[in-house]
Each structure stands twice: as C-alpha cells, then as structure tokens.
Amino acid sequence: MLLLSEEITLSAAQFDILEAFEIKHYKSSPYREFMVKEIEATGFLPIGAVTVDFVTIHPKEDKLHFQLTDEEGTTFTNEIDVKENGPYYPLYILTMTAAPAIKALHAEYGIDHVYAFASMLSARIVVGDASTYPKYVPQLLPKHVDNFEYDTEDAQMLAMRFTHIGEQRTTHNLLRTPAIVRYVVESSEKSENNGFSEIYPVVMHGNIVEFNGVIQFPHELHIPVDSDTDSHIAKELGTTFIDSVTACETGDVCWMDTVSGKKRPVQ
C-alpha cells in the first residue's frame, strides 16, 4: 500500500506525455513555466530550453521537489512547501493522481482515458487534508473495506471501464469519443454473482485505488441505466447514465469508419 509518508515521482517521460497532451488540447501547459520562474527567483538563470527531469511530491509534508536541466547541462533543483504556494497546487495534485495512473495504465489505454481519470480523482483532493488524498494499493481486499463480510454485509466498491461512446451520423461513420464508465459493485451471495473476473483499469473504495483490478468475491455489478429510470436503486447508487458515463472531453474525439476502422480528425 502506498502510504502518505511515501513519495510519488513524475518522471521526465511522464511529464512529457502530460505536457504534450495539454499543449494539444489547451494550447499551453503552465507547469514548466511555474518551475522555471521559481528557479529564476533563486538567482539562477537557466540557459536556453529547459528539460524537466522529475517532479517528486511528499504528501505527508505537502512538499514538492523538482529538478530542471538547461541546454548547457546545468541542473537546478528546488523544494516548495505547497501549502504556502497556491500556484503549485495544480502540479502537486496532478503528480499525485497522474503519475501512478500513467505508470499503471498508459501502455494499455493511452493518455486520453488516463488524463480524464486523473482529473476525476484530482477533483476529490483538498491540499492539506490528507484524508482526501488517494491511497494506492496493489490489490483492493476486504480488509480495506469497513464492515466487509462476503455474505452478511453489503460492501460497495466502484469499478471503472475505459471505453468509447459514439453518435451515429451516417451509415458507415460515427463520432467516436473516449469515455469512462463507472459501475457500483456490491458483495452478494454466490448465486447472485454477475461478475466474470473482468479486469478493470480502476477499482476504488473511497480514496483507496487499485489499478488493473479484478473483483475476486461474489458480487452484483450495477450497470448504468437510463437517466429517466424509475429505479430507486439506480438513483440511490448514482448509476444513471448522467451520473455514471463521463465523456473525456479533452480526449481524441474523431470520426471512425465503421467498416474499415479508419479514423480521421474532427475538422
């Protein structure tokens, strides 16, 4: 389990993935500029283009440490108390959510879904309140769930699928958008089990996060239903379409030929 005392590092390669994604979709990425300005404030003046070597956070102390290298090979490092430096909140939170997600999920799913999930997780975080910080575990087990007993107590978890949603426009073309679908998992009797050992990119209970997880106990999987449903269970669990299906608005929205599978950008 990743405890709050441990550090989380965003490597140079991971930073480049995030920065390229943000520049593509937002036309700019302020984090490199934040770090360069902070270094310059100490009296050092990097020469030429700057490479971000790593960003490391220490959640227990709410500190952020980073290293830059300029074109002449000179390295510059600095450590910041995030609680006293509001402009660094985004980088601090992004490192806390995106670095572990990229490491575990990027090779399989790509940056669109990973960035969207990191953004969803970031929305839960309040800097300085460690109870809101994600805790990453290699396997989410019953011991992580309060009052969990397979057959006697309901234990709720969230399972997420990284998928695509489409809007049919012509016979052979549809608009394809990355999306994250959230399912509610409840423990059940074996006779009511409707799971089949699917691998989910994310399984969560509260702020405990497991990547590439399988629900390894009998459970009932509550799938999303129409938002106009009369089901009080769906409304109580938040499993209506409007609550459970999130389009990755910054993802690679494109046209897809349904016959050839070829994709082309939206003009």
Dihedral over Cα of 19, 25, 28, 30: its sign: negative
Tokens of 198: 């699917």
What was the pLDDT predicted at 183? 94
Q: Give per-residue pLDDT as tens, 66-103.
A: 999 999 999 999 999 998 777 788 889 999 999 999 99
What was the pLDDT predicted at 2? 53
How many Å apart are CA 234 and CA 223, to the nearest integer?
9
Residue from 83, 52, 55 nearest 68 by CA:
52
Q: Residue 153: is its pLDDT beyond 50?
A: no
CB count within 10 Å of CB 172 equals: 11
For 177-194, what is the mean pLDDT? 90
- The residues, ordered by sequence, that sit 6+ positions from 224 with a Cβ below 8 Å of its Cβ are 181, 182, 183, 239, 240, 241, 243, 244, 245
Residue extents of the structural domains in the chain: 8-134, 142-265
Is 166 in contact with 175 (CB distance < 8 Å)? yes
What was the pLDDT predicted at 150? 47
For 59-68, what is the mean pLDDT? 93
Q: Give per-residue pLDDT as tens, 190-228.
A: 888 888 889 999 999 888 999 999 988 888 899 888 988
pLDDT band, residue 151 (cuts 50/70/90): very low
Dihedral over Cα of 245, 248, 57, 10: its sign: positive
- C-alpha angle with apex 136: 113 to 220, nearest 5 degrees? 70
pTM of this structure? 0.88
Who wins on pLDDT, 201 or 26? 201
How many Å apart are CA 214 and CA 116, to the nearest integer?
21
In angstroms, what CA-CA distances link 104 with 20, 209, 237?
Answer: 19, 12, 28
